[in-house]
Structure 1
């Protein structure tokens, strides 16, 4: 383990030279297979000064897997976006295009939600 003091904020001191720091929440979420993912695509304007974004929610997997999927979607839609907190944000109303792309990538349980 790297000598990262931020990961050990709850530990004050240990006299045991063989002590191994164990941090809670370090388990990475195991990615479900694409056909088992139940993704939802919604249109959102909240906290974005009225600009529309397509929001993909309910992704189960690590942050790296989420970032990889986000990169693929941004490239295939030709727009910007980001991924954080288990969600993918794609600029503009791209719901129909995203649905077709995700279905072609094997995410068979993907649906458009809302309006």
Structure 2
């Protein structure tokens, strides 16, 4: 267990959801932790954390992300950085939300083929 890296969000979701599946099947939390430890090659302590998180239910597996580079006017880029900082979020999260909202709105306003 010398690999002491943090797992990504997708791996975390996979492990918590595996724990949730065991718990839903009636496996006691201590036994679920033992099974998770062996399955994922993690310490019993870490496996217990996954099982404890699974008590609240399954977690959403995040969609993979890609780098998407755009050029923005300097003033807009700076306003975006400031807004992200003020909201306590990342630039990526702020832009993802704004772009998603725009695309939903654009799709709702577009004429449909009849």
Task: Using structure 2 for the length normalisation, give the TM-score.
Answer: 0.25
Instruction: Determine which structure has the larger helix proportion and give its number.
Output: 2
Compare relative contact order (CA 8 Å, sep 6+) and give the higher one, 1 or 2: 1
Instruction: Determine which structure has the larger strand proportion and give its number.
Output: 1
Find the structure with the greater CA-based Rg: 2
